[in-house]
Structure 1
Amino acid sequence: MTQPYVKHNIQNNIATIEFFHPEQNSLPSDVLKDLANTITEAGNNDQVKVIILKSGGDCTFCAGASFKELIAINDAETGKVFFSGFANVINAMRKCPKFIIGRIQGKTVGGGVGIAASTDYCMATKFASIKLSELNVGIGPFVVSPAIERKMGVSAMSQIAIDANTFYEANWAREKGLYASVFQTIEELDEAVQKFAEHLCTYNPEAMLEMKKIFWRGTDDWDNLLAERAAISGRLVLSDFTKETLKKFK
């Protein structure tokens, strides 16, 4: 079985960051930490003008939180620390001075939807349906919902958060503003992402930095807000309802 990883390479001023986990690209604490650090490093690298964020494999983009870790949480502080991993990735993306292009090849769930929503420009295949499944296990999309709400609006975010058992199609996500475009194949997606990134590299980096500040205006409190949200999730994961539900996934 291939080991989880976060890797990146820089070519022609484009940093491509890729994360992978054998369990449908789910995100345990160590992968979340590596991902946040890698995004920050790429953002601070003067050689980098644009970042592409992707996951490994041809199927699921991201299955969200690691169920193994969720099941193992036995106190509120551990729960808060785990969910803070998603907060740290979102905040790293928010503060990154470079545009981040999302490349979403397949289904994405929970925290994965939050990561897609935190990119500055996101492209997907027709297979990239989305689901916020947190309510299914007795929690809620507390940490990721600010990012999703910012991109798609309260109405769309609350719809998928309440209807926690349904995958919403990629074209629905495009209509709501999550995806800029949807492609028939991964090959078409990769070609479009690469071409777009190369085109962005021809623009003034200072202008792109100032634009990014404008796009994320009003999110200065997210360091505190997302930490508070992580604490809510950390508390709810200890509830009897959630503990009983998670046992079924063992």
Structure 2
Amino acid sequence: MTDAANLQRLKLGVEGHVARVTLDRPDVRNAFDDATIVELTAAFRALGDDPNVRVIVLAANGPAFCAGADLNWMKRMAGYSEAENRADALGLATMLNTVYACPKPVIARVQGDAYAGGMGLVAVCDIAIAASTAQFCLSEARLGLMPATIAPYVIRAMGARAAHRYFVTAERFDAAEALRLGFVHEAVEAEQLDARVEAIASAIVANSPNAVRECKQLVTDLASTEIDDALIGETAERIARIRASDEGREGVRSFLEKRKPSWLG
């Protein structure tokens, strides 16, 4: 298993057959940067290979689950070339696919808001249990961007019809709506969240490890078109291109400078 002592942005622990990966940057609403992406990728690869681990819970400390990209990371990205953006985006796309393709079932414990890339993290998990107070938002279009790297997973989780709306409106919606769309499996009161996550994890642990692994793979193989290297590369190419575009740069700058983007007049 990956060395938990070397993790700076995550907490990692295993109790029995249940592993817990916890986003641990509550001061920035658990927004992720390139270092977080590296740690998540390493953690899920290691836990996926650990024969003792049968289920993984992805959780977060603080009031928010994940607010998407870290502001300091966005500031650095604002000056990236298209090639640099492509390499950066490919790291994110690879991390998302590492969680999605992990041979162990992954449960998202969504105790608070999940915005932009945070919705991607929820979508790549096999099971999502949310607190009823959690809010969700695909906010990229407000910044002149698009949710390209998370799109294959979010579309699978909420369906194309809902994605058509929320990708282009960047509206916030609540846990009840996320449940109605099928984006989360349950929306429960905050005080019930841990009990429900624990119950589902226990149900998985009680099953045959090999059967669980094969069942997860069965769904992946049969549900829809495989998410392969070509698609991962394509989504990274799309976000890199739009990040480097005039509107992409203007959107990020206006957000960081706390002003309206130029297309709002």
**1:71 equivalent in structure 2:** 75
Cα distance in 2 between the residues matched to 1:161 and 1:102: 21
TM-score w.r.t. length of structure 2: 0.88
Q: Is 1:33 aligned to residue 45 of structure 2?
A: no
Cα distance in 1 between the residues matched to 2:127 and 2:150: 17
* Residue of 55, 59, 84 corresponding to 2:60: 55
**2:4 equivalent in structure 1:** none
CA deviation map 1:69-101 (0-9, x unaligned): 223222012212222232122211222111101
**1:241 equivalent in structure 2:** 247
CA deviation map 1:97-150 (0-9, x unaligned): 111011001111111111101111110001222110111111101111110111
Percentage of pairs with the same residue: 26
1:98 partner SS: coil
Q: Is 1:204 aligned to residue 215 of structure 2?
A: no
**2:160 equivalent in structure 1:** 154
Specify the code of the residue in structure 1 equivalent to 2:228: W
Specify the code of the residue in structure 2 equivalent to 1:51: I
2:172 partner SS: coil
**1:19 equivalent in structure 2:** 23
Cα deviation for residue 181 of structure 1 reads 0.7
- Unpaired stretches in structure 2, ≥5 consecutive residues: 1-6, 258-265
TM-score w.r.t. length of structure 1: 0.93
Contact 2:147 2:167 in 1 (8 A): yes
Q: Superposed, which structure 2 residues align to 1:1-250 within 5 Å?
A: 5-21=9-25, 22-57=27-62, 59-73=63-77, 74-164=80-170, 166-185=171-190, 187-217=191-221, 218-248=224-254, 249-250=256-257
Aligned residue pairs total 245
Cα distance in 2 between the residues matched to 1:109 and 1:141: 11
Q: Which runs of 4+ in 1 moved over 6 A?
A: none
1:65 partner SS: coil
RMSD (CA atoms): 1.6
